[in-house]
Amino acid sequence: MTKIGLEIHCQLTKLESKLFCSCKADYRSFEPNSNICPVCMGLPGSLPILNKKSVEKAAMLSIALGCKIPPKIGFFRKNYFYPDLPKNFQITQYNAYGPTSIGYDGMIMIEDKEIRIRRIQLEEDPGRLVYSGSSEKTQITLVDYNRAGTPLVEIVTEPDFENPKQVRIFLNILADLVENLGVADPYLEGAFRVDGNISIEKGNRVEIKNVGSFRDIEKALHFEITRQQSLAERGILIPAETRHWDEARKITVSSRSKEEEQDYRYFPEEDIPKIIIEKTLIDNLKKTMPESIMSKKEKYINKYGIPTQVAEVLSSDKFYSDLFEQSHTEKNTKEIANLITTDLKGFADTKEQREQLKLTPKHLCDLADSILSNKITRASGKMALQEILKTGKPLSEVISSLDLGHVDDESSLVKAIDEVFTEEQKAVSEAKQNPDTINYLVGKVMRKTKGKSDPSLTLDIIRKKLDSQ
C-alpha cells in the first residue's frame, strides 16, 4: 500500500514583523539584503525577541486543525551549517522530549478520510540562495537574507494519504483554511511550500523536497510512485533517500547532500523562556477566530437555503464569504450568493483584480434588493454590477446613467412590442403555430428595452397580442 505523509511550510504572511525582530515579515518587495537587522542577521551579541502575535496565529491554526495545545511551549535550536542560515542554527520547535510545539495530535477530514496532524511547529524561515542557472551547475551562489527570520509554521501530517489525489484535495482544503483564518496568503510566491515523503508496499521511505508550487507536489508524487513501482518490479531495492523535484524536467532527482545522515543536535533555545499558553487565551481565540469554512457552509445551506454547490464556492473562498457576510440581510442571502458566485466571476478571480475592485458590501446589498423588488431585472443587475466594479458609483447613479430602470409603464412596453411585431413579421406568423418561437420574440423585446422590461409581463402581452391577431 502506498503511504504518503506531508510537511507543509506555511509562512504567517499576515503578521507585520519577523519572528524574532521588527523587520518586515513581508520581505518580497525589498531590494536584496535590505530587510535585515542585527537580530535576523545573527550578528554577535544579538538576541531573539519572540513575536507574541505569531504564537496566537499558530495557536489559531492549531485549533482549526483539531490539535492539542500544550500548557507550555518552548523553542529548540536545530544546528547545521548552511549559507542561508545566519546563525548556523534554526530556531524551531521539537517534540522528541515531550510536546512543546504549539500544536500536536490534530486531525482533519477530507472526503470521509481522516488525515492526522502529527504536529504544528513555529519556526524561522532561512534566507534565500540565488544561483546563476541550476543549483548543480552554478558558478556563484548569492544569498539574500531578507527572508531570514520570517515566521512560519511547519505542519507535519502522519503518513495517512493513499494517493496523490487525496494530497491535492487536502492541500486545497488546507490552503483555503489558512486563508480563511487570516494567518497566511498561501498564494504568495514561496508562502506555502510542501515536502512529501512516500513509500510503496515494502519499500523504503523517500523524501521529496524543493517542490516549488504546491500544485506540483501531486505530479512529483505520481512520478515517484511510477519510479518506485518500476524499481520494485525489477526487484531493485528502493533506497531511503531525499530526492529533489526538478521542475523543468518534471522528475525527481536524487539529492547529492546526505541530509538524512545529518545530526541536528537539537537542544533548548534558552534565549526564549518557555511560554505559558493560558486557557483563557485559547478560549478567547476560539471565540474571536474567523468562522471555519465547514461551519460557514452548513450555515449557508441550512439557515439561508443556499444550494449546496453555491454554498461550497462561497464558503471556501475567504474573499467571497467575507463579502457575503458583510453585505447580506436576512432577506437577500440567496440573491447575494448568486451575484457573488456567478455575476462576479471573471472580475474578481485574481488577487490583483480583487485589490482594484471598487465594489462595497452596500453595493451588493442594494443590487440584490433592487432585483428582488423588481426595480431592475437580473440582466440589468449584471450590467449595473460591471459598471460599479469599474467606477464604484452608487447603484442609483449607475441605474440612471445607464438607463437601467424598469420599463414599468405598460404603454412604452406595448410600444416596443408593436415595433418588434412590425420588424419580425415572419417570426410572428411562426409563433402562432409554434409557441417556442415566442421566446425569440421576448428576447427581441428585451434587447429593444435594454433588458429593462419584466420578462413575464412581456410574455403575457405578447401572448395576448398573438391571440388577438
Partner 1 sequence: MTLSISISQYTQKLRDGELSSEEFIAQTLERINNVEKNLHAFISINENAIDQAKQIDKKIKAKEKVGACFGMPISIKDNICTKGMKTTCASKMLEDFVAPYDATVVSKLKSEDAIIIGKANLDEFAMGSTTEYSYFGPSRNPWNTDYVPGGSSGGSGVSVSALECIASLGSDTGGSVRSPASFCSVVGLKPTYGLISRYGLVSFANSIEQIGPLARTVEDVAFILNIIAGRDSHDNTTIENGTPDYTKDLDVGVSGKKIGIISEMVGEGVDKDVQSSTKHAISTFEKLGAQCIPISIDSAEHSVAAYYTLASAEASSNLARFDNLRYGYDFSVEGYEYNSYISKVRSSLGPEVTRRMLLGTFVLSAGYYGKYYQKAQKVRSLIKSQLDESFKKVDLLLAPTMPILPFKIGEKIDDPLKIYLLDINTIIANLSGIPAISVPYSIANGLPIGIQLFANSLQEKQLLQSAHALQKTTNLPGVPI
- Cα–Cα distance measured from residue 74 to residue 316, given in angstroms and rounded to the nearest whole number: 33
Contact 278, 291 (CB under 8 A): no
Whole-Å CA distances, 118 to 16, 22, 30, 37, 156: 28, 31, 35, 34, 5
DSSP for 262-287, please give it: -----EE-TTS--EE--HHHHHHHHH
Contact 202, 224 (CB under 8 A): no
Closest to partner 1 by CB, 94 vs 300, is 94
Instruction: Please report whether residue 139 would count as binding partner 1 according to CB under 8 A.
Output: no
Interface with partner 1 (CB under 8 A), residue total 27
Instruction: Please report whether residue 18 would count as binding partner 1 according to CB under 8 A.
Output: no
Q: How far is the CB of 215 from partner 1 (least distance, A)?
A: 32
Q: Which residues pair with 253 in a beta bridge?
A: 244
Whole-Å CA distances, 233 to 100, 205, 228, 229, 327: 43, 17, 9, 6, 59
Q: Which stretch binds partner 1 (CB under 8 A): 198-206, 270-278, 312-320, 428-436?
A: 270-278
Q: Which stretch binds partner 1 (CB under 8 A): 7-15, 37-45, 301-309, 373-381?
A: 37-45
Instruction: Please report whether residue 46 would count as binding partner 1 according to CB under 8 A.
Output: yes
Q: How far is the CB of 212 from partner 1 (least distance, A)?
A: 23
Closest to partner 1 by CB, 22 vs 163, is 22
Closest to partner 1 by CB, 87 vs 452, is 87
Q: How far is the CB of 387 from partner 1 (least distance, A)?
A: 52
Q: Which residues pair with 276 in a beta bridge?
A: 72
Instruction: Please report whether residue 394 would count as binding partner 1 according to CB under 8 A.
Output: no
Closest to partner 1 by CB, 249 vs 258, is 258
Q: How far is the CB of 32 from partner 1 (least distance, A)?
A: 14
For residue 152, give the DSSP letter.
Answer: E
Q: CB pairs under 8 A, 24+ apart, for 86-89?
A: 86/40, 86/41, 86/42, 86/127, 86/145, 86/148, 87/42, 88/42
For partner 1, what does the binding mask look like between residues 57 and 96, x meaning CB under 8 A?
A: --------------------x-x-x-x--xxxx-------
Separation of first and last alpha carbons in the chain? 75
Instruction: Please report whether residue 98 would count as binding partner 1 according to CB under 8 A.
Output: no
Instruction: Please report whether residue 444 would count as binding partner 1 according to CB under 8 A.
Output: no
Q: Which helix (H) or strand (E) holds 245?
A: strand 241-246
Binder of partner 1 out of 165, 265, 358, 432 (CB under 8 A): 265
Binder of partner 1 out of 49, 169, 281, 282 (CB under 8 A): 49
Closest to partner 1 by CB, 260 vs 408, is 260
Q: Which stretch binds partner 1 (CB under 8 A): 174-182, 268-276, 332-340, 403-411?
A: 268-276
Closest to partner 1 by CB, 28 vs 274, is 274
Report CA torsion sign: 262, 203, 246, 350: negative
Instruction: Please report whether residue 131 would count as binding partner 1 according to CB under 8 A.
Output: no
Instruction: Please report whether residue 137 would count as binding partner 1 according to CB under 8 A.
Output: no
Q: How far is the CB of 335 from partner 1 (least distance, A)?
A: 52
Q: How far is the CB of 18 from partner 1 (least distance, A)?
A: 15
Q: How far is the CB of 266 from partner 1 (least distance, A)?
A: 8
Closest to partner 1 by CB, 141 vs 434, is 141
- Cα–Cα distance measured from residue 175 to residue 173, given in angstroms and rounded to the nearest whole number: 6
Instruction: Please report whether residue 136 would count as binding partner 1 according to CB under 8 A.
Output: no
Q: How far is the CB of 143 from partner 1 (least distance, A)?
A: 8
Q: How far is the CB of 214 from partner 1 (least distance, A)?
A: 29
Q: CB pairs under 8 A, 24+ apart, for 337-346?
A: 337/300, 337/304, 337/306, 337/310, 337/311, 338/310, 339/364, 339/367, 339/368, 339/381, 339/385, 340/314, 340/364, 341/310, 341/313, 341/314, 343/381, 343/382, 343/385, 344/320, 344/385
Contact 75, 91 (CB under 8 A): yes
Binder of partner 1 out of 212, 239, 273, 305 (CB under 8 A): 273
Residue 383 C-beta-side C-alpha neighbours within 13 Å: 15
Closest to partner 1 by CB, 87 vs 209, is 87
Q: How far is the CB of 49 from partner 1 (least distance, A)?
A: 6
Characterise 410 by phi-psi region: left (phi > 0), alpha (psi -120 to 50), beta (else): alpha
Binder of partner 1 out of 1, 29, 31, 45 (CB under 8 A): 45
Instruction: Please report whether residue 397 would count as binding partner 1 according to CB under 8 A.
Output: no
Q: Which residues contact 260 (CB under 8 A, 6 or more apart)?
A: 207, 240, 241, 242
The contact set with partner 1 (CB under 8 A) reads 38, 41-50, 77, 79, 81, 83, 86-89, 263, 265-267, 270-273
